[in-house]
A and B are shown apart, each in its own frame.
Chain A
Amino acid sequence: MSPALLDARLVVRRDAFRLDIELRIAPGETVALLGPNGAGKTTALRALAGLTPLVDGHLTLDGRDLSDEPPERRPIGVVFQDYLLFPHLSARDNVAFGPRRHGMDRTSAHAVADRWLDRVGLAGYGRRKPRHLSGGQAQRVALARALAVDPVLLLLDEPLAALDARTRLETRGELRRHLAAHPGATLLVTHDPLDALVLADRLVIVEQGRVVQEGDAATITARPRTDYVARLVGLNLYRGRGSGNTVTIAGDFALTSTDSVEGDAFVAFPPAAVALHPSRPDGSPRNTWPAVLADVQHHGDSLRLRLDGPISVAADVTPAAAARLHLEPGRELWVAVKETETRAYPGDG
Chain B
Amino acid sequence: MRTARVPVPLLVPAVLGLIFLVLPLVGLLARTPWSTLPARLAEPRVVEALRLSLLTSTMATVVCLILGVPLAWMLARASFPGRRLVRALITVPLVLPPVVGGIALLLALGRRGLVGQWLDTTFGITLPFTTAGVVIAEAFVALPFLVISVEGALRGADSRYEEAAATLGSTRWTTFTHVTLPLVAPGIAAGAVLCWARALGEFGATITFAGNYPGITQTMPLAVYQTMESGDLEGAVVLSLILLVVSVAILAGLRDRWLTAP
CB distance from A186 to the nearest CB of B (A): 15
Q: Is B163 an interface residue (CB 8 A)?
A: yes
Contact of B161 among A74, A86, A98, A146 (CB under 8 A): A86
Contact of A80 among B160, B169, B171, B174 (CB under 8 A): B160
Chain A residues contacting B170 (CB-CB under 8 Å) are 72, 97, 101
CB distance from B4 to the nearest CB of A (A): 38
Q: Is A92 an interface residue (CB 8 A)?
A: no
Query: Given A86-B179, A87-B183, A88-B182, does the pair A98, B168 have CB atoms closer than 8 Å?
Result: yes
In angstroms, Cα B178 to Cα A74, docked, is 20
Name, among B166, B167, B183, the residue most crowded by chain A CB atoms within 10 Å (CB to CB): B167
Q: Is A78 an interface residue (CB 8 A)?
A: yes
In angstroms, Cα B260 to Cα A231, docked, is 50
CB distance from B181 to the nearest CB of A (A): 10
CB distance from B170 to the nearest CB of A (A): 5
The total number of A-B Cβ pairs within 8 Å is: 57
In angstroms, Cα B171 to Cα A102, docked, is 10
Query: Given A77-B167, A98-B168, does the pair A84, B183 have CB atoms closer than 8 Å?
Result: no
> Which residue of chain B is the closest to A142 with respect to CB atoms?
B164
* Inter-chain contact B163/A71, CB cutoff 8 Å: yes
Q: Is A149 an interface residue (CB 8 A)?
A: yes
CB distance from B111 to the nearest CB of A (A): 48
* Inter-chain contact B167/A49, CB cutoff 8 Å: yes
SS of B interface (majority): helix
Q: How many residues on the B side are at the interface (Cβ–Cβ under 8 A)?
A: 17
In angstroms, Cα B174 to Cα A74, docked, is 16
Chain B residues contacting A161 (CB-CB under 8 Å) are none
Q: Is A329 an interface residue (CB 8 A)?
A: no
Chain B residues contacting A325 (CB-CB under 8 Å) are none
Name, among B163, B168, B171, B174, the residue most crowded by chain A CB atoms within 10 Å (CB to CB): B168
CB distance from B177 to the nearest CB of A (A): 11
* Inter-chain contact B167/A101, CB cutoff 8 Å: no
Q: Is B54 an interface residue (CB 8 A)?
A: no
Contact of B167 among A51, A86, A88 (CB under 8 A): A51
> Which residue of chain A is the closest to B160 with respect to CB atoms?
A84
Q: How many residues on the A side are at the interface (Cβ–Cβ under 8 A)?
A: 23
* Inter-chain contact A71/B166, CB cutoff 8 Å: yes
Produce 1/0 per residue, A113-157, CB < 8 A to B.
Answer: 000000000000000000000000000000001100100000000
Q: Is A57 an interface residue (CB 8 A)?
A: no
Chain B residues contacting A74 (CB-CB under 8 Å) are 167
Q: Is B29 an interface residue (CB 8 A)?
A: no
Query: Given A88-B183, A101-B174, does the pair A149, B164 have CB atoms closer than 8 Å?
Result: no
CB distance from A106 to the nearest CB of B (A): 13
Q: Is B62 an interface residue (CB 8 A)?
A: no
Q: List 30 A-B contacts (CB under 8 A).
A: A49-B167, A50-B166, A50-B167, A70-B166, A71-B163, A71-B167, A72-B166, A72-B167, A72-B168, A72-B169, A72-B170, A72-B171, A76-B167, A78-B167, A80-B160, A80-B164, A84-B158, A84-B161, A84-B163, A84-B164, A88-B182, A97-B165, A97-B170, A98-B168, A98-B169, A101-B168, A101-B169, A101-B171, A145-B168, A149-B168
* Inter-chain contact B183/A102, CB cutoff 8 Å: no
In angstroms, Cα B168 to Cα A70, docked, is 12
CB distance from B153 to the nearest CB of A (A): 14
> Which residue of chain A is the closest to B174 with respect to CB atoms?
A101
Chain A residues contacting B160 (CB-CB under 8 Å) are 80, 84
Chain A residues contacting B182 (CB-CB under 8 Å) are 86, 88
In angstroms, Cα B169 to Cα A74, docked, is 8
Name, among A70, A72, A76, the residue most crowded by chain B CB atoms within 10 Å (CB to CB): A72
In angstroms, Cα B180 to Cα A341, docked, is 59
Give B31-61 interface residues, CB cut-off 8 Å to A: none
Chain A residues contacting B179 (CB-CB under 8 Å) are 86
CB distance from A72 to the nearest CB of B (A): 5
CB distance from B13 to the nearest CB of A (A): 44
> Which residue of chain A is the closest to B170 with respect to CB atoms?
A101
CB distance from A154 to the nearest CB of B (A): 11
Chain A residues contacting B168 (CB-CB under 8 Å) are 72, 77, 97-98, 101, 145, 149
CB distance from A162 to the nearest CB of B (A): 14
CB distance from A98 to the nearest CB of B (A): 4
Chain B residues contacting A76 (CB-CB under 8 Å) are 167
Chain A residues contacting B163 (CB-CB under 8 Å) are 49, 51, 71, 84
Chain B residues contacting A72 (CB-CB under 8 Å) are 166-171
Chain A residues contacting B158 (CB-CB under 8 Å) are 84
Name, among B165, B166, B179, B183, the residue most crowded by chain A CB atoms within 10 Å (CB to CB): B166
CB distance from A207 to the nearest CB of B (A): 26
In angstroms, Cα B182 to Cα A259, docked, is 65
> Which residue of chain A is the closest to B169 with respect to CB atoms?
A101
Chain B residues contacting A88 (CB-CB under 8 Å) are 182-183
Chain B residues contacting A149 (CB-CB under 8 Å) are 168-169
Produce 1/0 per residue, A233-247, CB < 8 A to B.
Answer: 000000000000000
Produce 1/0 per residue, A168-182, CB < 8 A to B.
Answer: 000000000000000
Interface pairs A-B: 7 shortest CB-CB: A98-B168, A101-B169, A71-B166, A84-B164, A88-B182, A78-B167, A101-B170
